[in-house]
Amino acid sequence: MLVLLLAGGFVVRGAIGPEGEADGPLPDPPVRVLAPSGPDPFAYSESRRDEFERRAAEGLSHVLYEKSPGGVVASARRTARYRPLIERIARRSDLDPDLIEAIVLLESAGRPDAAADPELEGAVGLTQILAGTGQGLLAMRVDTEASRRLTAEIAQARILDRPGRVRRLEAKRRRVDQRFDPREALEGTARYLTFARGQLQREDLAIVSYHMGVGNLTDVIADFGEGAAPSYVRLYFDSTPNRHAAAYRRLASLGDDSATYFWRVLAARSIMRELRSDPDALAEKSGLHTAKASAEDAMHPPGSTPVYADPEQLEDGYRSGDLRPFPAAPERTGLRRARQMGDLAKRLGRSRRLYRGLRPEAYALALYLVRMVRRAGGGDKPLVVTSTVRDQTYQDLLTRSNPEATTEYSLHTTGWAFDIFRRYSGKRQAGAVQYALDRLAALNLITWVREPAAIHITVSRDAQALRSLLIDPRQ
């Protein structure tokens, strides 16, 4: 018999399917769904450009905290050493020094010897310039054969603890491969951004092209089909599977994070600004981002969000309206409860229905996700929700049998998290779910992580705006 260990917190034997008759004292409230029409609180408009840029920068910042060598604070401090040089070069080129500095943090974490490719044909140096781009477009001296030889000699000198020889070899390498020279790398980046700005007529698009390439971005703009180049925030958020679909498909087809590069640059800019204004706050934020595989602790820091300690507190949450029961009405909601949800309740002498609920904002977000999936061509098959709210007593019991369940602060114990089973009707639904997850994360409405059998989703308090869309279809 097949055994699946679900990230939602229970062992499932056999297939996941609809639950049977629920037990316990909680009455089912009227099934509420999203209004079929009316204003979308998160539809893009040019008047909201700054807001959407802030949302995307925050929503997609986690990777910088997670992957910065030595931590984001150390990386930001390394990067800050180049600020005077960056300002001089940016001033001569009429470029924004904050954005160039952000590129340095994002591309190399402030390490002038960073190399993505051991052959040194790929991205190298403070601003990660490709050998071909450096030799051609940027007119830099790049002798990859000599650079590889010197890099090997530098590594050997470090092993032998010969710092003087290391310094001499590094100086020689900077002469034969100018990508390793911080000044030359920054000058090259400024030349590229000046060129791209001339081609694309916008600084934000020039920044996007630093990763995507001018040619690819020009194709996206042509597919968008509205003449003059739009702002990148509009190009991104107004391109969906059913609106400016050709531009969306081209962005999605790049497959190398090109579509989200600009948001990560803006996130890096925010990090550098916070290093200067409040380094202690940046260090604290870094700790929250790196506590788990997703940014959920940064979204709901421990101590700032109430935790349901025991079943009695869960019951109080339902009575007060802070929690709402999760309905078994897939034909109306597009969400099916897994029959095993809350199975450990009987070991606590409680009803399973106590563990089938969410914060109203999280429930509204789940419905909004379904609507996005269906509008993106994902079909009408319901998504299976495997886990919703728990109390800490239940969570402690769960950790004894499920290695996926955290022994630390779990967002399930707050009602802000739910899990979706990673089994879909086919590739179209799987692709639509991925689109919805990516777009909701870019709106900073969720943070999510892919676990062995489920997608674990934590919902932002900003989903409060979706509660106004909930209606009782019988009224």
Given a cut of 50, the residues of the chain with pLDDT beneath it are: 1-22
Nearest one of 272, 214, 210 to 61, comparing CA atoms = 272
How far is 115 from 26, CA to CA, in rounded Å? 59
Q: What is the DSSP letter of 29?
A: P
CB 365 within 8 A of CB 446: yes
Half-sphere exposure of 321 (CA within 13 A, CB side): 1
- pLDDT at residue number 146: 98
How far is 107 from 114, CA to CA, in rounded Å? 9
CB 261 within 8 A of CB 254: no
DSSP string, 41-72: TT---GGGHHHHHHHHHHHT-HHHHHHSTT-H
CB 358 within 8 A of CB 324: yes
Half-sphere exposure of 139 (CA within 13 A, CB side): 4
What would the pLDDT profile of 417-430 be if each residue is shown by its tens digit? 999 999 999 999 99
How far is 207 from 261, CA to CA, in rounded Å? 8
Phi-psi region of 444 (alpha: psi -120 to 50; beta: other; left: phi over 0): left
- pLDDT at residue number 35: 85
- pLDDT at residue number 28: 66
